[in-house]
Amino acid sequence: METRLLDANLPEDVAAVAAVLRDGGIAALPTETVYGLAGNALDPDVVAAIYAAKGRPSDNPLIVHIASADDLPRIAREVPPAATALAERFWPGPLTVVLPRQPVIPDRVTAGLDTVAVRVPAHDAFRAVLRAAGVPLAAPSANRAGSPSPTTAQHVVHDLAGRIPAVLDGGPCDVGVESTVVDLTSTPPRLLRPGGVSLEQLREVLGDVGVDPAVVGEMAADQTPGAPGMKYRHYAPAAPVVVVDGTAAEAAAYVRAQGLEHPAVLCFDEEAGAFAGFEVVAYGSEDDPRSLARGLFDALRALDRPEVSRIFARCPAEDDGLSQAVRNRLLKAAAFRVVRADAPAGT
């Protein structure tokens, strides 16, 4: 299959992608978070094609994208006041809500759950395609399952060329990490995945919001994920990733003590000098979580090379803001392996 690279700034290219989706095909589209692999969310065969193109586990549910909050009753059996309040504050934008699903949503979208994850994206090109296609779109990240999420069209082409018919190039993604997912079917509402809308912001609207244990730790093999990105090792290059906490000087000493050939370091801009002698990729400023979110996946992809033996990653401290999303993605990439910089060599 030939994969065409189209331009989101050209109306004829936007129309061409919408036609692919109307005709039962799939295509990669830009969102404000990451690029999504989109298809008609109401067609089980189309949804199956999305899973196949990605190599995605069948128990990992998809997010349904709609053009407006007015479309929620078509997707969800119940639209509680909390959903309306969140939509008024954050939609269009990087927030996904989990609600009881309508029967029109296929089991393949929800991985058999009785709930559906849904959001209204903010990217102009995605919204134009949604309007032209005339159907809700299921759209997980447009990458091979488990690899770092794509934040440019070139990332998508690298992963999926020959597997999908089209990629709509809308430039680099603004947020850089996937949407926040909050479950509104539980009491209190529960954060399932941190993202572009912070926990602090959610609590400003909802009051009490719990945090699912999967945000900070691994799910058991027999557990069913309630939202994308909860269960499996995600966002990861081929080389093992280890999160190293502590000061930059301590972390550099730790990496040196491992005695590895061709290790690499993913660190904050301010720390690059502390890791002289190693291959270093800086992904943003520790004081600017937005820069970390925008730079994270591109940096992980830059280190996804056969000669890299291990990646030692520096993580922002846990908080209730965007840093929480960055830390979550790095913990998932590392399969939650975290060491203190003063730990013994070889651990």
Would you list the domain boundaries of the chain? 4-215, 241-340
φ and ψ at residue 239, rounded to 5 degrees: -70, 145
Please provide residue 293's backbone torsions phi and psi, each rounded to the nearest 5 degrees.
Answer: -65, -45
Q: What is the pLDDT of residues 255-302, one digit of tens each?
A: 999 999 999 999 999 999 999 999 999 999 999 999 999 999 999 999
Q: Whole-number mean pLDDT of the chain? A: 94
pLDDT band at 343 (very low <50, low <70, confident <90, very high): low
Q: What are the Cα distances from residue 42, in Å, to 15, 65, 107, 241, 339?
A: 20, 11, 10, 37, 44
Token pair for 25: 């095909």
Q: How confident is the model at residue 318 (pLDDT cuts 50, 70, 90)?
A: confident
Residue 178 CA to residue 58 CA, distance in Å, equals: 19
Map tokens 């995945």 to a residue. Answer: 193
Rounded Cα–Cα distance for residues 260 and 38 (Å): 41
As a whole number of angstroms, the distance between CA 63 and CA 73 comes to 16
Q: What is the mean pLDDT of residues 137-143?
A: 97
CA dist., res. 156 & res. 8, Å (int): 15
Q: Which two tokens stand for residue 45?
A: 């065969």
Please count the CA atoms within 13 angstroms of the CA of 288 that sit on its side-chain side.
14
Alpha helices (H) along the chain? 11-22, 44-54, 72-75, 81-90, 107-110, 124-133, 153-160, 199-206, 248-257, 289-302, 322-333
Instruction: State the pTM of this model.
Output: 0.93
User: Is 241-340 in the same CATH topology as 4-215?
Assistant: no
- Burial label, 137 (beta-carbon count in 10 A; 0-12, 13-18, 19+): buried
Residue 216 to residue 227: CA distance in whole angstroms: 15
CATH fourth-level superfamily of 4-215: DHBP synthase (3.90.870.10)
Segment 207-260, tens digit of pLDDT: 999 999 989 876 555 555 556 655 556 788 999 999 999 999 999 999 999 999
Total residue length of the chain: 347
Nearest to 3 by CA among 22, 32, 25: 25
Check if the beta carbon of residue 29 is closer than 8 Å to that of residue 38: yes
Q: ∠ at Cα 278 (176, 216), nearest 5°? A: 40
pLDDT tens for 169-197 read: 999 999 999 999 999 999 999 999 999 99
Q: Is 319 left (phi over 0), alpha (psi -120 to 50) or beta?
A: beta
Q: Which two tokens stand for residue 290?
A: 């937005």
The answer for residues whose C-beta is within 8 angstroms of residue 343's C-beta and 6 or more apart is: 254
Decide if 252 contacts 274 (C-beta within 8 A): yes
**Domain 241-340 CATH class label:** alpha beta
Tell me what pLDDT residue 1 has.
Answer: 86
What are the residues facing 180 on neighbouring strands? 95
Nearest partner of 129 among 15, 272, 247, 275, judged by Cα: 15
